[in-house]
Amino acid sequence: MEVLENLDFAKAFKELLPELFGEAIGIVVTVTIVGFLLAIVIGFLLALARVSKNKILNGIVVVFQEIIRGTPLLVQLVYVFYVVPLLIEVLMYFLGKPDFKMTMPAVTAGIIGMSINYGTYISEVIRSAILAIDQGQTEAALALGLSKRQAMFRIVIPQAFKNSIPVFGNYLVMLVKDTSLMAYITAQEFLMTTKAYTSQTFLTIESYTILAGVYLVICIPLALLVKYVERISNKSKR
């Protein structure tokens, strides 16, 4: 078979790997770390809004979460990359700056899209962890003279975050894999780099096999680390 006869993994390894572990991995690491940290911040703020007694704020957050969770991450990335700059231009037009032009860097769009999407899911993790804390601890803190705010931030939230760490780790692994979606907004991450190399060399089997291997090399150790942290966390609760 001609396809099998033309296989050249040696060439693909030699030429593609340096590209994947050059600029591409820098983009993946940047989007993963910055996007994940922002997702935790966004998730924390959304969770606080959800457990608050402000019904208006609670309702706004619920609607926002449903919109984000009801649309695909890929659509959100495309929206941030292509539509948001246009909306900002329209806004600036009405503010008296008709010549204002804006472009959204692909990496920036990826960070924004990923952080908002994952933030909505992480918010439910944090909210559930907060509600799972025994109410008696809050009552005890109030009895000792702490305010409700102090009890929340000194007693409840630290425990909620600690209990959420294993789930955070799983979302981190998922985010690494979802960075491949940024290929659709022209970010030169792993998938986009591989597609470009394949179009030049036609080493399709070799290129995408190597790409899958790179993700496995990154995600499997990361997943094992998450499981280790989860075991340590479970032991500390006993």
pLDDT tens track for 168-177: 989 999 999 9
Global confidence as pTM: 0.90
Does the pLDDT value for residue 36 go beyond 80?
Answer: yes
Min mean pLDDT across 46-55, 130-139, 222-231 is at: 130-139
The model's pLDDT over 115-127, given as tens digits with 9 standing for 90+, comes to: 999 999 999 999 9
> What whole-number distance in Å separates Cα of residue 1 and Cα of residue 52?
65
Cα(209)–Cα(12) distance, rounded to whole angstroms?
10
83 falls in which pLDDT band (50, 70, 90)?
very high
- Reported as a pLDDT band with limits 50, 70 and 90, residue 109 is very high
In this structure, of 7-16, 34-43, 143-152, the range with the lowest mean pLDDT score is 143-152
Q: What is the pLDDT of residues 187-207, one digit of tens each?
A: 999 999 999 999 998 889 999
Q: Residue 191: which domain range? A: 2-237
- Tens of pLDDT along 138-167? 778 778 777 778 888 888 888 888 888 888
CA angle 192, 18, 191 (to 5 degrees): 15
The enclosing domain of 79 has a CATH number of 1.10.3720.10
Q: What is the pLDDT of residue 165?
A: 84
- Average pLDDT in the chain: 90
Using alpha carbons, list the distances in angstroms from residue 190 to 202, 209, 218: 17, 12, 12
What pLDDT score was predicted for residue 164? 86
**Domain count of the fold of the chain:** 1
